[in-house]
């Protein structure tokens, strides 16, 4: 068994070899809590939640760190705009993020450190970098000298001379490309005392300092959205390695959720908030929608795609419910997932291919049900539950207990509507209006329903994909 992962720094898929046998250490860049989360935010953690679950299934002991950026330019701007304390905005939105993660069935991180709780560690790292000649203080700020670190920009594969120079006029900077590790205090902004004057953290320093504290000088995997490759992750690497850390062995980046081809973003005004989405869609369906595409593939948001995800998951869920009813009680997950599923997951977390195995197994189980082969149907359900458990999508899991009730309510409402239509079809057949009866059946079929005429009356089920 070898898990293989696409490593952004190597630009290829590599065999995963942990630094400590049997253990995996992961640092994921978490939320900047200036506003409530949209589905693009939670996609990142959901993708890494699936990765974590797979590592655990493969027997690894996982330490998972997800930070919270609770102080930065955006939060301070929101504070001034709303006339509220910066910490009030940060805490409110931190809770909103955690609510969203929980709604979608994500496991909590091992530790979830906040930037403002680690200023001493940041000061210590800046002191070390200044002593080593990689950073310098100027007018109360501290900057990293990017030309002092030969490996700068290797992750994003850029040339330093090609970088834009947006801070050309900043006093005290030796090179406009140098980035701020610490920002000198400004009137009305929060600040902390340092040997170089009062100020607040720059965005990049926090992650280097917190990864060092919680995972040591070297760890296995650093993750985040691909938009963080530059400048955030480049700057993290520069700080950490110039300080003397080996830092991350593998770099994993998930793709975006887009709308009309553009990255979903608060600043662009095209974000779809998680708190609104869970009012319209069952959270387990949202997890299916966001978690089943490959983590390196872009998801283009649309209502149609969500409806397709809802229908696809309903077919899985319907099979689960029918076998439980047939078995007269719960069916435990199999001890192992099918080999083809494991092969797909080992290959850079190939969830789409793994999902295809689930749907194939569901079809086999449905065939067993149709043949009244209870033993085979139960065996297929055990396999399906094992696979769904890895993806966090098992509808029989305790986390989704309330979801099951909600799903039954939704199914009941749909059943009532479909039966009204079928009654109209039966009435048309009774008066020998075959054209109307066939038209109704065709419309239901086009809606993805299969209508079966039985001695006890018509029955409906969701059709195959």
Q: Where in the chain is the domain with CATH 1.20.120.640?
A: 302-396
- The CA distance from 221 to 233, in Å, is 12
Task: Give the DSSP letter of residue 68.
Answer: B
Tokens of 433: 């209006």
pTM (2 decimals)? 0.86
State the CATH class of domain 4-263: alpha beta
The helix or strand, by DSSP H or E, that contains position 425, with its residue range, turns out to be helix 401-430
Q: Where in the chain is the domain with CATH 3.40.50.620?
A: 4-263
Dihedral over Cα of 299, 300, 302, 307: its sign: negative
pLDDT number for residue 17: 98
Tokens of 174: 């030796």
429 class by beta-carbon count within 10 Å (0-12 exposed, 13-18 middle, 19+ buried): middle
- The CA distance from 127 to 242, in Å, is 12
pLDDT number for residue 268: 66
pLDDT number for residue 465: 41
Tokens of 350: 């190939």
Q: Report DSSP letters for 187-253, one per residue.
A: TTS--B--TT-SEEE-TTHHHHHHHHHHH-SEEEEEEEEGGGIIIIIHHHHHHHHHHT--EEEEEEE
- The CA distance from 286 to 291, in Å, is 8
- Interacting residues of 5 by C-beta distance below 8 A, sequence separation 6+: 13, 14, 16, 221, 250, 252, 348, 349
Q: Over its length of 465 residues, how does the chain's per-residue pLDDT go in tens digits?
A: 799 999 999 999 999 999 999 999 999 999 999 999 999 999 999 999 999 999 999 999 999 999 999 999 999 999 999 999 999 999 999 999 999 999 999 999 999 999 999 999 999 999 999 999 999 999 999 999 999 999 999 999 999 998 876 555 577 899 999 999 999 999 999 999 999 999 999 999 999 999 999 999 999 999 999 999 999 999 999 999 999 999 999 999 999 999 988 888 766 667 899 999 999 999 999 999 999 999 999 999 999 999 999 999 999 999 999 999 999 988 999 999 999 999 999 999 999 999 999 999 999 999 999 999 999 999 999 999 999 999 999 999 999 987 655 545 555 667 678 877 888 888 888 898 988 988 888 888 877 787 877 655 676 766 544
334-338 CB contacts, 8 Å cutoff, 24+ apart: 334/379, 334/382, 334/383, 334/385, 334/386, 335/386, 336/386, 337/57, 337/383, 337/386, 337/387, 337/390, 338/383, 338/387
The torsion angle over the Cα atoms of residues 41, 44, 45 and 47, rounded to 10 degrees, is 140
- Interacting residues of 185 by C-beta distance below 8 A, sequence separation 6+: 140, 191, 197, 198, 199, 200
What is 302-396's CATH number, 1.10.486.10, 1.10.8.60, 3.40.50.150, 1.20.120.640?
1.20.120.640
Dihedral over Cα of 320, 326, 332, 334: its sign: negative
The tens digit of pLDDT for each residue in 236-270 reads: 999 999 999 999 999 999 999 999 888 887 666 67
- The CA distance from 293 to 39, in Å, is 14
Residue 191 CA: distances (Å) to CA of 120, 121, 139, 201: 13, 16, 15, 9
- The CA distance from 184 to 198, in Å, is 6
pLDDT number for residue 416: 74
Residue 196 CA: distances (Å) to CA of 27, 226, 419: 29, 33, 74
The helix or strand, by DSSP H or E, that contains position 390, with its residue range, turns out to be helix 374-391
């Amino acid at each position: 068994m070898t898990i293989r992962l696409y490593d952004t720094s190597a630009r290829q898929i590599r065999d995963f070899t942990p630094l400590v046998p049997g253990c995996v250490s992961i640092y994921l860049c978490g939320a900047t809590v200036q506003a409530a989360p949209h589905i693009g935010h939670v996609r990142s953690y959901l993708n890494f939640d699936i990765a974590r679950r797979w590592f655990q299934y493969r027997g690894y002991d996982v330490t998972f760190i997800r930070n919270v950026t609770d102080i930065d330019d955006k939060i301070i701007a929101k504070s001034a705009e709303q006339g509220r304390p910066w910490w009030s905005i940060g805490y409110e939105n931190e809770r909103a993020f955690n609510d969203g993660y929980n709604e979608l069935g994500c496991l909590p991180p091992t530790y979830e450190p906040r930037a403002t709780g680690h200023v001493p560690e940041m000061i210590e790292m800046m002191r070390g970098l200044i002593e080593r000649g990689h950073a310098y203080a100027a007018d109360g700020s501290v900057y990293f000298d990017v030309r002092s670190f030969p490996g700068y920009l290797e992750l994003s594969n850029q040339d330093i001379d090609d970088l834009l120079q947006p801070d050309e006029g900043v006093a005290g900077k030796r090179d406009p490309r140098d980035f701020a590790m610490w920002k000198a205090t400004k009137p009305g902004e929060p600040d902390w005392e340092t040997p170089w004057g009062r100020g607040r953290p720059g965005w990049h320093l926090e992650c280097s300092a917190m990864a060092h504290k919680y995972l040591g000088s070297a760890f296995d995997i650093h993750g985040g959205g691909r938009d963080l490759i530059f400048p955030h992750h480049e700057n993290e690497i520069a700080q950490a390695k110039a300080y003397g850390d080996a830092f991350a062995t593998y770099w994993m980046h998930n793709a975006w959720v887009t709308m009309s081809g553009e990255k979903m973003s608060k600043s662009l005004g095209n974000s779809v908030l998680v708190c609104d989405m869970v009012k319209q869609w069952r959270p387990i369906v949202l997890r299916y929608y966001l978690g089943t595409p490959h983590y390196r593939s872009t998801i283009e948001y649309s209502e149609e795609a969500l409806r397709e995800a809802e229908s696809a998951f309903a077919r899985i869920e319907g099979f689960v419910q029918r076998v439980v009813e047939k078995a007269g009680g719960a069916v435990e997950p199999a001890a192992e997932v099918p080999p083809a599923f494991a092969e797909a997951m080992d290959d850079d977390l190939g969830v789409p291919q793994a999902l295809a195995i689930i749907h194939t197994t569901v079809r086999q189980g449905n065939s067993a049900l149709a043949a009244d082969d209870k033993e085979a149907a139960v065996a297929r359900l055990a396999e399906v539950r094992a696979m769904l458990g890895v993806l966090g999508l098992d509808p029989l899991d305790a986390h989704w207990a309330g979801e099951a009730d909600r799903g039954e309510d939704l199914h009941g409402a749909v059943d009532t509507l479909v039966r009204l239509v079928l009654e109209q079809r039966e009435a048309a057949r009774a008066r020998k209006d075959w054209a109307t009866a066939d038209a109704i059946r065709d419309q239901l079929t086009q809606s993805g329903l299969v209508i079966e005429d039985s001695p006890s009356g018509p029955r409906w089920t969701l059709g195959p994909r």
